[in-house]
Amino acid sequence: MRIHSDEFMPRELKRPAHSNSYESVAAAHELVSLARTHGTPLLVTSQSRISDNFYRLKGAFEKHYGDVAIKYAIKANSNPSIIKILAGMGAGMDASSPAEIDLAVMAGVGKDRIMFSPNYASRTELEYGLNAGVAINFDDIGQFESLSGSGVPGLVSFRLNPGFGKGEFPGITLSGPDSKFGIPESRILDAYALAKDCAAKRFGIHMMCGSNVRDPEYFGIITSKILETAARIKSELGIRMEFVDIGGGFGVPYRPGEKPIDIEKTAEMVAKEFKSKSAEYGLGKPQLMMEPGRYLIADTTVLLGTVNHVKRNEKIFVGTDIGMNLLLRPALYGAYHELYVVTRPDARLAITADVVGEVCENTDAIARDRRLPEVLAGDVIAVMNAGAYVYGMSSQYNGRPRPEEVLITQSGKQLVIRRRETSADLMSTARFTEQG
Ligand SMILES: Cc1ncc(COP(=O)(O)O)c(C=O)c1O
């Protein structure tokens, strides 16, 4: 089979008003065939889309600034093959836990390209990062202090909370007074002063203000803010930043009609602030670092599921094998994921239904009040933008094994990059003990 990502995961979702019309009938047939061959639920990822996304982002920023580092936020999708593909193109890694450091190392990423950015980490976990020899990005002064007696990382960074942030939902707005992340401006000098007193030698600074933002100007604003803070640190403590990390957060369109972020304009706005503020404040030429997750991976993957049962109460419920156990984002934040009934390409939209899963919770829906064609048990649905924060957020709740993941390589080969779990996997860590 040969299928290119643009056929099965369009960059812009343009569903006509009255039709289930999917990108192309051929693509719909290919997805149905994948579902029949591998079973559902199934995640299908396009390698060429990963590479398109990576090089588009890198190219846009490198046009304006010579020293750019893209660290992929592993939390978005931690499949080892995907990490390896990104590492192979030159991405560094942003790890939020010891296991994610291990994954990066296993994918062949050098420790000088790994950043450990945990939050509320235990001393044991921070020591793990220290011993791994990776840069540590501390979320609080106390996190740095908790390493006292163990040593100081070769490269120290602190996460700034600039007092404002922006995200698609409150749950993914990651800075501001209500956010649990980062160090406010009023305390950030104390953090760097302490690190300097403890003989830290090399420094960077970081922020991550929110996720799924498609407004280029906002990225210019946060860039300017972090450089102003770096300037204060330099003038008061004489600390020079090797890198300035503006975080991730670049958004993707989830709803029909939404436009992709203008990444060229975003890069231009960020680089303009970066260059002018660095020159104005005498900061030299720090590395421009970023740690995108969603932008690189969300639109590389389609989630396929099967309709099990349709219930017609006062409302219509389309029951599928995809629920909040696998696609949590709608239940967690009210997120929207476009979906198509790929067994009925071009059918008229005829019903309004909640698309639900098999989990015993009434929050278990992947779409509410969605216009769909008439569907029957056995129909296959394709959920768009399933590459980021889907498998990684999934659980085995209600005794549901996690799905298989298939990669469509650049030459069109289908590779199983994670096998489907079985009931035995669900029990593999448990032990039946004698009571008494
Ligand atoms: C510290 C940090 N960096 C990077 C990211 C990636 O964000 P995104 O997927 O929006 O690019 C996140 C996501 O929450 C994060 O917490």
pLDDT digits (tens, 9 = 90+) for 245-288: 999 999 999 999 899 999 999 999 999 999 999 999 999 999 99
Please identify, by atom number, the ligand 1 atom nearest to the C-alpha of residue 294: 9
Q: Note the pLDDT of residue 436.
A: 66
Confidence band for 321, pLDDT divided at 50, 70 and 90: very high
Return the CATH superfamily for domain 117-292.
Alanine racemase (3.20.20.10)
pLDDT above 70: percentage of residues in the chain? 97
3-class DSSP state of 114: strand
3-class DSSP state of 120: coil
Positions of CATH 2.40.37.10 in the chain:
5-46+298-427
Residue 82 has pLDDT above 80, yes or no: yes
Average pLDDT value for the chain: 95
CA–centroid distance, 27 to ligand 1, in Å, is 31
C-beta 21 within 6 A of ligand 1: no
pLDDT one-digit tens code per residue, 396-424? 999 999 999 999 999 989 999 999 999 99
Q: Which residues are catalytic?
A: 360
As a whole number, mean pLDDT of residues 130-152 equals 96
Residue 4 has pLDDT above 70, yes or no: no
**Who wins on pLDDT, 434 or 122?**
122
Ligand 1 pocket test target in 291, 299, 300 with most atoms within 8 Å of CB: 291
Q: Note the pLDDT of residue 10.
A: 74
Confidence band for 13, pLDDT divided at 50, 70 and 90: confident
CA–centroid distance, 100 to ligand 1, in Å, is 14
Q: How far apart are CA 274 and CA 91, in angstroms?
A: 21
Q: Are 248 and 6 in contact (CB under 8 A)?
A: no
Ligand 1 pocket test target in 208, 250, 390 with most atoms within 8 Å of CB: 208
CA angle 341, 32, 409 (to 5 degrees): 120
pLDDT one-digit tens code per residue, 95-124? 999 999 999 999 999 999 999 999 999 999
Per-residue CA distances from 130 to 13, 105, 153, 217 (Å): 44, 14, 6, 36
Positions of CATH 3.20.20.10 in the chain:
117-292
As a whole number, mean pLDDT of residues 6-31 equals 74
Confidence band for 16, pLDDT divided at 50, 70 and 90: low
C-beta 117 within 6 A of ligand 1: yes
C-beta 248 within 6 A of ligand 1: yes
Q: How far apart are CA 235 and CA 325, in angstroms?
A: 50
Cite the DSSP H helix spans in 63-114. Answer: 80-88, 98-106
pLDDT one-digit tens code per residue, 158-207? 999 999 899 999 999 998 999 999 999 999 999 999 999 999 999 999 99
Q: What residues have CB less than 8 Å from 279, skipping those under 6 apart?
A: none
pLDDT one-digit tens code per residue, 352-409? 999 999 999 999 999 999 999 999 999 999 999 999 999 999 999 999 999 999 999 9
CA–centroid distance, 84 to ligand 1, in Å, is 19
Conformation bin of residue 52: beta by default, left when phi > 0, alpha when psi is -120 to 50: alpha
What CATH architecture applies to the domain 5-46+298-427?
Beta Barrel (2.40)
C-beta 23 within 6 A of ligand 1: no
First to last CA, the chain: 58
Residue 1 has pLDDT above 50, yes or no: no
